[in-house]
Amino acid sequence: MIGVGTSVDDEPLIRAARGGDEEAFCALVREHQGVVRAFIARYACDRTMIDDIAQEAFLAAYRDLPRYDGRAPFRTWLLGIARHRALTWVRDEGRRRSREPLSVEAVLLTVQPPAGEDLAIADQRLGALRTCVEQLPGHSADLINAHYRDGHDATHLADRSGRSEGSVRMALMRVRRLLRDCVERRLEQAHG
């Protein structure tokens, strides 16, 4: 289980990693990679790119560890680096895409990414999303887990459930919308 919304005592690992202990740093990566990658997924659609940006962010964090002062939670600090890397990628990608034929990704990149979002809120939002997934009613949770966790596509899910592919796709979209609304509600409650 990834550590979304959990409190982890990172201090000993950070101290060891600062001293050049790569194993300790890998333990930090293992703990925080899920949230960092999910955060970057708001900027990039392609999973290869998401992983590339996330790797760059972790490597940058490793190099910058001596400058981490511990005032903000470690994960928030990591998300700051990830956001910087993601925005750099968005800028470069935008330039590259402007020279290429129109594509869906290129158009989505023109829609303003959540650049100004507070990192603590981003962390809370991902934690809220995880909680909202856990609170989904049975059939919706099954659908989301089968598609996103187990990797089954709409065709496979349609075959398995006896529904049409179109209805499976629309059901997935409706659950995504439910989750988005659920996350918004939880964040509003958290901030009064």
Partner 1 sequence: MAEPDERWVRWLAGERGTPEAADLACVLAADRAQAEACAADAATDGELRILLAAEHDTDGFTRAIAARLAAERDGSRFLRSVRSRLRDEPRRRRASSARLAPIRRRLGVPAPWAALLAASVLLVVGGGWLLYQPRTVVIGEVLALRGPVTITGGGSARPALAGAVLALGERVVTADGERDGAAVVTVALGDGVRCDLAAGSTLELVGRDAVRLITGRFYAQVEHRASASAPRWRVLTGAAELTITGTRFEIEASATVTTLRLEEGSISIANRQGMRQVPALHQCRVVADVAPPEPHAITLEDIWRARTSPVRAAPAPPPSSPSPAAPVMPPGLRLWLDAAEGVIVVDGQVSAWRDRQGGRIQAVQPIARQRPLLVPDAHAGSPALRFDGAQTFMMLDATDIFDDLVQTTVVVRARCPAALESDKMHELFGADSGHTQHSFDFGVRRRNVELWAWSGSGPKPSHRPRCYVAHPEVWHQYAYRADARGHMFFIDHRAVAPVYAQGAPDRPFSFAHAAGGTTRYSIGTSVDSEGNRYAGDIAEVMVFDRALSDDEIADLAARAVSRP
**Binding-site member from 12, 64, 88, 173 for partner 1 (CB under 8 A):** 173
**Binding-site member from 101, 116, 137, 138 for partner 1 (CB under 8 A):** 101
Cα–Cα dist 171/20, whole Å? 48
Cα–Cα dist 86/57, whole Å? 9
Within 13 A of 149's CA, how many CA atoms are on the CB side?
11
- Decide: is 38 part of the binding site for partner 1 (CB under 8 A): yes
- Decide: is 103 part of the binding site for partner 1 (CB under 8 A): yes
Cα–Cα dist 107/16, whole Å? 44
Cα–Cα dist 122/114, whole Å? 10
Whichever of 188 and 192 has its CB closer to partner 1, that residue is 188
- Decide: is 93 part of the binding site for partner 1 (CB under 8 A): no
- Decide: is 188 part of the binding site for partner 1 (CB under 8 A): no
**Binding-site member from 14, 33, 78, 79 for partner 1 (CB under 8 A):** 33
- Decide: is 51 part of the binding site for partner 1 (CB under 8 A): yes
